[in-house]
Structure 1
């Protein structure tokens, strides 16, 4: 499959590498230009291109940038043929993105409004070290899962195959409107769950509880110093605030 990726942060770069090594033809772009992606291109086999070029001749375009910058992608998205599937990995971080007008409950709905077409949400509910290090072959007993939300069934099915290619079981998380169930503060968000556990976590999501947990988690992590255990600690914190130890015991993964 021909795939374009916009963004070379922790998630975007890892997706470029994983999907490239899975056999897909990759094009990758960022705001700094092709010369900034030499190492990633060498490691992944991807072709570094400009933002104007990344959507040419692709079957899927994955956007992996700060949520507040998503509206700036509209000209790129408008040039895509109707059949190109758009997927997004972004999350709203208020300290980075600020207040986003009309964000509403579901970030997926807001993204669709900004880009003017259906968008599939995937990989946003993993910390970058989980995506990079914890993928497993299909059928592995310790294989973790990724929620995938979107209203277009065919597009969602295609993105779910790509999730599988990155080493995780895809779990259907519903429509774009249901995407709030996989956002910060919910039991499904960055908690490293298997497919069965993730489905239960999605069902347990409560919007008011998610808001309270999100604010508490942000306050805690803003007091931390970054170190080598930061992302492991973040997963543990998300699991603890959601009370998942009562359902699943300790962190199996």
Structure 2
């Protein structure tokens, strides 16, 4: 097993860590365990309250520190507003899968999380300068993620998009997405993760790879895309 979230020499994720034991984190844990991954899950505080529930789906509850230390990749399934609490030193050199989105009900009114000049995953990357952040597992509703998984090549298989700046990290996460039962669609670099966020057509999409790619391609002519393009083109 790799040493602390770095993956093995082939870039394959074998132990998947998940920070967050809510609905999405639990769904990802169940699918990953069913796909043959060793799955470690942390909640905020003592892991004991979720130990039995995690064991029932084939995962192991641990402290956040243990999860990070023993995993080849770590999924962030937390409220986005808590991203600054993530341990910078422990996640240095880590492969980090950002599945978080801004929800005002959970995160409060946060202008810093809605700035069209940057994607929220870029904020996470800035907080974790030593990590390799990939935006993934974020734009489809958790219930659809649970219900729509299908084997590779199956008719009607749905797609999940991802975005990241490190090609090896993106490839490793794309393999994970495929193993979980979805066709991976690479949106581009981490900045392109904004095309997967709330307000974009792809957010909430439960479609196949061709339709998802078309949604991504249409982003820059959409109302949200025009706002983002103008904000990014404006002088700093």
For normalisation by structure 2, the TM-score amounts to: 0.83
Q: Deviations over 1:98-127 (max 9, x none)?
A: 243543331111111122233101111010
* C-alpha distance in structure 1 between counterparts of 2:92 and 2:125, whole Å: 16
How far residue 191 of structure 1 moved from its aligned partner, in angstroms, is: 1.8
* C-alpha distance in structure 2 between counterparts of 1:17 and 1:25, whole Å: 11
The equivalent position to 2:47 in structure 1, one of 34, 52, 72, is: 34
Tell me the equivalent position of 2:101. 91
The equivalent position to 2:123 in structure 1, one of 90, 104, 110, is: 110
Tell me the equivalent position of 1:129. 143
Residue 49 in structure 1 maps to residue 59 in structure 2: no
Q: Deviations over 1:174-214 (max 9, x none)?
A: 111111111112111112110000000001114872389xx
Residue 13 in structure 1 maps to residue 58 in structure 2: no
Tell me the equivalent position of 1:230. none
Alpha-carbon RMSD:
2.0
Tell me the equivalent position of 1:120. 134
Tell me the equivalent position of 1:148. 162
Q: Where in structure 2 are the equivalents of 1:66-77 lying within 5 Å?
A: 66-73=79-86, 75=87, 77=88
Task: Say which is worse superposed, 108-117 or 96-105, in terms of deviation.
Answer: 96-105
Decide whether the 8 Å contact of 2:159 with 2:209 is kept in 1: yes
* C-alpha distance in structure 1 between counterparts of 2:222 and 2:154, whole Å: 35
* C-alpha distance in structure 1 between counterparts of 2:105 and 2:178, whole Å: 32
The equivalent position to 1:78 in structure 2, one of 82, 89, 92, is: 89
Decide whether the 8 Å contact of 2:51 with 2:60 is kept in 1: no
Provide structure 2 residue ranges, at least 5 long, that are not aligned to the other structure. 1-13, 227-236
Task: Say which is worse superposed, 169-178 or 201-210, in terms of deviation.
Answer: 201-210
Asked which structure has the greater RCO (Cα within 8 Å, sep 6+), the reply is 2
Question: Compared with structure 1, are the counterparts of its residues 207 and 176 closer, same or farther at alpha carbon in structure 2 (3 Å cutoff)?
Answer: farther
For normalisation by structure 1, the TM-score amounts to: 0.77
How far residue 32 of structure 1 moved from its aligned partner, in angstroms, is: 4.0
The equivalent position to 1:22 in structure 2, one of 32, 35, 41, is: 35
